[in-house]
Amino acid sequence: MTKAIAPRSRKVRVLATLGPASNTPEMIAKLFEAGADAFRVNMSHGDQASKVGVIEAIRGLEKKYGRPTTILADLQGPKLRVGKFADGKVVLETDSTFILDRDKTPGDATRVELPHKEIFEAMEAGARLLLDDGKLVLRVLEHDDKRIVTNVEVGGPLSNNKGLNVPDVVVPMAALTEKDRSDLAFAVDQGVDWIALSFVQRPDDLWEARKLIGGKTALLAKIEKPAAIERLEEIVEACDGVMVARGDLGVELPPQTVPPLQKRIVETARRQGKPVVVATQMLESMIESPSPTRAEVSDVATAIYDGADAIMLSAESAAGKWPIESVAMMNAIGEAVESDPAHGDRIHFTVIRSDPTTADALSESAKNIARTIDAKAIVCFTSSGSTARRIARERPTVPIMVLTPKMETARRSGLLWGAYAVHTRDVESFEEMVAKAKRMVLRHHLAEAGDRVIVMAGVPFKTPGSTNVLHVVRIMGDELKGYS
């Protein structure tokens, strides 16, 4: 039996990561009711078999709530790690010499194996090597194809298989490992809506994933490497959406540089009309505490004021003690920020210049008309989702109802700012378009008698990319008579 649930009053989307604390059908439903609009399945943890039930549970929400669901599968990517130590752990002294080499012999306080030949090939004198999420800092003194000699600038304890970051050089590694290729094929076979690609450094990194996906799902690039910032415009252009992955970005760059970079990435994605997710440590303290710090709330609010499409919870909802409360807090922050009278002005600090196309001109006009006549919604008929993305880029003051005959388009819209997607049969004529738009806004409680809504579509109908109609209609209130 379908359980009615009203459309979200906020426009920013909440993306919740699932994990041991939240991967049962009951918990997933509770997260959805608390405010989760989309779900992240982290392929770094657990095996593929364990993900099948999770994906089925997310899809089960569609029948329970009568609404499309959105699933993002996040690939692990080429994580760099040092080898093992003879005693499992050593302490590197500041100003000592430490060597990374190709020798598989267990390491000690003077050396350890680095099982990534690509790093030796790309290394440069003076480059930094960061160990254990940046806790230890090494500076390269000399190098060849078998060893890298470094000076320990910041020492400390180091144990087996700790992570390594190389912020100062572009490492010529494939963006997809064998595990990633297997996980990607699995995710596509399971019908997920988005694939997130980790550690993207250049546009080329997206090509193999594109080919393997074969158009069956959308591709999201995680921006977490300094090299990606240098080619940000090209990377955003080559993908369907981006994520500001502040974890590794904050390790490889000074932490004070991350806030302006976050704004730059959000702005770039918005200008290109691509959904952008802000992620990592947003409500970190709620892993253990039932309430966040004031600074964390301010951080989440800043991302919303910047105009991000979605804000993401990681361990807070996946493995924390308070997953439902974390989602509810994200929902509450979104509602509070968007009720601020200054919110509309702040999210338009980013200047969006429309492309010289009919669809862009109409999208900008729809935003302006909605504000001028106090319309209650913008209804767009779309097959590919392109019209919805163009409207969302403008950040209108009203909800965007996305009516589409393609379930995959409806599902992908879950990361799109202000979008409320409905999977429905396509229309055949202008009259049918108007009548259906009226019925849908009434049925889904986006408007009522006397309200005006804006309708956008393309004529001839069923022709992707042909958006050329903008029509303002008034709701009479009796449009549902004769319809169940």
- For residue range 271-319, list pLDDT tens digits in order: 999 999 999 999 999 999 999 999 999 999 999 999 999 999 999 999 9
Cβ 416 vs Cβ 389: under 8 Å: yes
Is 353 part of the annotated catalytic residue set?
Answer: no
pLDDT at 232: 97
Select which of 13, 67, 202, 222 is catalytic: 222
**Shortest CA distance to 51 belongs to which of 76, 30, 14, 20?**
20
Q: In this predicted model, what pLDDT tens digit does every residue of 361-399 receive, in sequence order?
A: 999 999 999 999 999 999 999 999 999 999 999 999 999
The reported pLDDT for the residue numbered 2 is: 58
Q: What is the pLDDT of residue 91?
A: 95
Q: Which entry of 8, 30, 59, 81 is annotated as an active-site residue? A: 81
Q: Is-catalytic flag, 280?
A: yes
Give the model's pLDDT for residue 357: 85
| pLDDT the model gives residue 1 | 46
Q: What is the mean pLDDT of residues 59-72?
A: 95
**452 classed as catalytic:** no
Of 316, 315, 314, 298, the C-alpha closest to 306 is: 298
Establish how many alpha carbons lie within 13 A of residue 316's alpha carbon, considering only the half-sphere containing its beta carbon: 29
Give the pLDDT of residue 245: 93
**pLDDT level of residue 264 (50, 70, 90 thresholds):** very high
Choosing from 40, 202, 246, 395, the catalytic residue is 40
Catalytic: 40? yes
Q: Tell me, what's the pLDDT at 465?
A: 63
Q: How does pLDDT run across 110-144, given as a tens digit for each residue?
A: 999 999 888 998 899 999 999 998 899 999 999 99
Query: For position 456, what pLDDT does the model report?
Result: 92
Question: Could you tell me how far CA 54 lies from the centroid of its own chain?
Answer: 19
Please, which pLDDT band fits residue 239 given cuts at 50, 70 and 90?
Answer: very high
Please pick, among 280, 382, 387, 409, the residue that the annotation labels catalytic.
280
| For the chain, percent of residues with pLDDT exceeding 70 | 98
On whether the pTM is more than 0.85, the answer is yes
Mean pLDDT (the chain) is 93
